[in-house]
Amino acid sequence: MPRFRFQLQAVLDARLRAEREERRRVAELEASRRRLEDGLRRRQSQIGEARSQLRGRLEGRIDASSLRGQASASLAEMRDAQRVVLELAGIHRRLEALRETLRTASRARRAVEILKERRFEAWRREEDQREQAELDEMAVIRGSRRKVESI
């Protein structure tokens, strides 16, 4: 039985590679986003701990220089957290753009896959018709042989 050969298989392969590459890029950016979010959570917990330590130092005798140092460290953590938030906003924008590119690549690949499926179905119908025609011809030949032999 003949095998189906899709004329545009190279195009489909190229689109699959492009989609895989876009998926890889999205995954890399997602990993960066997760790392930044984890760092932000750590910073926020450190800021919370620093605040509770600062509250604890406000009881009893107060050392102004250590309070200033504590407040300065807390402000530095807040600045770092704000910087991370800005980085995250940039990553979210880039991530949305990459996801749109991935959707476009997926649609392009799917369009060629649908074309392949349709061509395969057409090929299979042609093959079935061809086989049926051969079977009909063999039945006619067999019938005419029997007719000739019976005479």
- The confidence score (pLDDT) of residue 108 equals 98
Question: Can you give the pTM of this predicted structure?
Answer: 0.72
Q: How confident is the model at residue 96 (pLDDT cuts 50, 70, 90)?
A: very high
Long-range (24+ apart) CB contacts under 8 A made by 35-44 are 36/84, 36/87, 36/88, 36/91, 37/88, 39/84, 40/81, 40/84, 40/85, 40/88, 43/77, 43/80, 43/81, 43/84, 44/81
Choose among 134, 111, 101: nearest CA to 12: 111
Is residue 95 within 8 A of residue 29, CB to CB? The reply is yes
pLDDT tens string 51-86:
887 777 667 677 777 778 877 888 888 898 899 999
